Amino acid sequence: MTRSTRIVGWGGIGTEGEERLSEDLVRISEGVPIARGLGRSYGDSAVPPPSQPVILGTTLADRILSFDESSGVLRAESGLSLYELNRIFLPRRFFVPVTPGTQFVTLGGMVASDVHGKNHHVEGCFGEHVLSLKMRTGTGEVIECSKDVHADLFYATIGGMGLTGHILEVSFQMRKIPSCWIYQETERVADLDTLLDALGQAAEKWPMTVAWIDCLHEGRHMGRGILYRGRWATEQEAPAYAPKPKIRLRVPFQLPSWAMGKQSVRLFNSALYHQHIPRVRKGIVSPEEFFYPLDAIRDWNRIYGKQGFTQHQAVLPASKGRAAVRRFLELLTSLGGASFLCVLKDCGAQGSGMLSFPMPGTSIAMDLALRAHTQTHIDRLNELVIREGGRIYLTKDALTRPEHFAQMEPRLSAWQKVRDKWDPTHRVRSAQSVRLFGDKP
């Protein structure tokens, strides 16, 4: 069944079109340009091309097809959400090896974006733990691929933004965890150098790390922020009961555009920094609180108003050192970009997905409200990313120019060869691939 609706990314950019929804993905997936799950990609990657405004909605295809308790291998239809997976498996002490910052994503989306998380320096991206995929390719075939069978398609699909075909089923490795709680330490850090030092040190001892920074603060205290480090709590540390799902607040309507103006964001960032005591804070928290703080507020994207917003997430290579991070933040503050949240994470090795985002270095992610000058800001940031030898995360992107992306991505032509082989006429395509790869609009 199809329904006319607005098909938009999380940032609000999109088109009028039809969403095809059914429990039977094999039946309805043929001939549709692109698929989407829960619509959490920020930009236009899960938005159909303008001339064919139809999208495959996967969320009704959410059955678990097998789970082996001894090996932890799980197979499910691609529309299964991480929220549901956590609800079922946390109490049984199993967890996904890699989780992004929201649980309102589907397995198919996690593969297409090759999501990373707070444990990237240890576990890599989600794709490293995927064993096989069932796909509907652009030519209409339904096939299984893995590192042994059709390996080119498999690796091009991990992080391939859904452009190598529709993901129908996913087999991957779940992890046994010692308890369903997290032991967390947080620390307030006064400037960028100390923060990057602390992040590096934490990575040696802790499986999960991340930092939030106040990216509006200039001068000596530029890059001040809060460092989060955590690990699964041991059985002795953890409460005997499983955490209860939290009550979610809602943003009931779109806020006016001035709500996210520079002054209110400055105030918010300052408050977030100062509410943390100067000492290290330690304690047991629920995985929901640790991994998904923003999930506590449903529809939080509405705070950016009708005009919407975009994210810019870039990784700057470790070889350029912390000077690169400093140059990036200096550019950002000079542009006056007001970001509600700015998140820093040191990434580990590059993944095996052919277009997988992370590389060894520092990832910086931030929101930018969509205004007249946003395109210029993104261009300036991207030019710096190119100079530093870094790259951007397509899942967040709506505004990068094709020539910029090509300069960041030496791996692009190899990936395009595989895509051409499986779908010579690019029947599978998105608004993003029209913008970045010159597909038929």
Partner 1 sequence: MNVVILGATKGMGRALARLCAESGDRVFLLGRDAEDLRRSCADLIVRSGQHQPVEFALCDLEQSASFEPAIAQAKQALGHIDAIVVTAGQFATQDDLESDSALLERLLRVNFVNTVLLCEAARKLLLAQGGGTLCVFGSVAGDRARKPVILYGASKAGLAAYLNGLDHKYYASGLRVICVRPGFVKTGMTAGLRPPPFAGEPEQVARDVRAALRSPRPVIYTPLVWELVMSAISVLPRAVMRRINF
The contact set with partner 1 (CB under 8 A) reads: 1-3, 19, 21-24, 60, 63-67, 69, 88, 92
Identify which of residues 63 and 246 has a Cβ nearer to partner 1 in the complex: 63
Give the Cα-Cα-Cα angle 151, 207, 200 (nearest 5 degrees). 105
Identify which of residues 19 and 123 has a Cβ nearer to partner 1 in the complex: 19
| 21 DSSP β-pair partners | 57
Q: How far is the CB of 88 from partner 1 (least distance, A)?
A: 6
Query: What are the two backbone dihedrals, phi and then psi, of residue 357, each rounded to the nearest 5 degrees?
Result: -70, -55
Q: How far apart are CA 21 and CA 267, in angstroms?
A: 43
Q: How far is the CB of 19 from partner 1 (least distance, A)?
A: 8
Q: How far is the CB of 2 from partner 1 (least distance, A)?
A: 6
Nearest one of 369, 195, 365, 186 to 265, comparing CA atoms: 369
What sign for the dihedral angle of Cα 325, 110, 397, 146?
positive
Residues written for the chain: 441
Q: How far is the CB of 55 from partner 1 (least distance, A)?
A: 13
Identify which of residues 16 and 23 has a Cβ nearer to partner 1 in the complex: 23
| 317 DSSP β-pair partners | 361
Q: How far is the CB of 174 from partner 1 (least distance, A)?
A: 11
What Å distances lie between residue 351 and 51, 115, 321, CA to CA? 34, 11, 21
Contact between 360 and 347 (Cβ < 8 Å): yes
Q: How far is the CB of 30 from partner 1 (least distance, A)?
A: 17
Identify which of residues 65 and 277 has a Cβ nearer to partner 1 in the complex: 65
What Å distances lie between residue 225 and 2, 128, 198, 327, 337, CA to CA? 46, 30, 11, 17, 17
Q: How far apart are CA 283 and CA 118, in angstroms?
A: 18
Q: What is the DSSP string of 371-422?
A: -TTHHHHHHHHHHHHHHHT-EE-GGG-SS--HHHHHHH-TTHHHHHHHHHHH
Q: How far is the CB of 286 from partner 1 (least distance, A)?
A: 20
Identify which of residues 70 and 275 has a Cβ nearer to partner 1 in the complex: 70
What Å distances lie between residue 406 and 59, 158, 361, 384, 386, CA to CA? 32, 19, 20, 14, 10
Identify which of residues 2 and 270 has a Cβ nearer to partner 1 in the complex: 2
Identify which of residues 24 and 403 has a Cβ nearer to partner 1 in the complex: 24
Q: How far is the CB of 66 from partner 1 (least distance, A)?
A: 6
Q: How far is the CB of 25 from partner 1 (least distance, A)?
A: 11
Identify which of residues 88 and 249 has a Cβ nearer to partner 1 in the complex: 88
Identify which of residues 57 and 109 has a Cβ nearer to partner 1 in the complex: 57
Using the structure block, give the residue that is written with the tokens 């308890």. Answer: 179
Residue type, 87: R
Q: How far is the CB of 106 from partner 1 (least distance, A)?
A: 15
Q: How far apart are CA 59 and CA 22, in angstroms?
A: 8
Identify which of residues 67 and 268 has a Cβ nearer to partner 1 in the complex: 67
Q: How far apart are CA 388 and CA 414, in angstroms?
A: 22
Burial 28-55 (b: 16+ CB within 10 A, else e): bbeebbbbbbbbbbbbbbbbbbeebbbb
Query: What are the two backbone dihedrals, phi and then psi, of residue 178, each rounded to the nearest 5 degrees?
Result: -70, -25
- Tokens found for residue 59: 């969320």
- Tokens found for residue 245: 């799902």
Q: How far is the CB of 294 from partner 1 (least distance, A)?
A: 22
Identify which of residues 90 and 392 has a Cβ nearer to partner 1 in the complex: 90
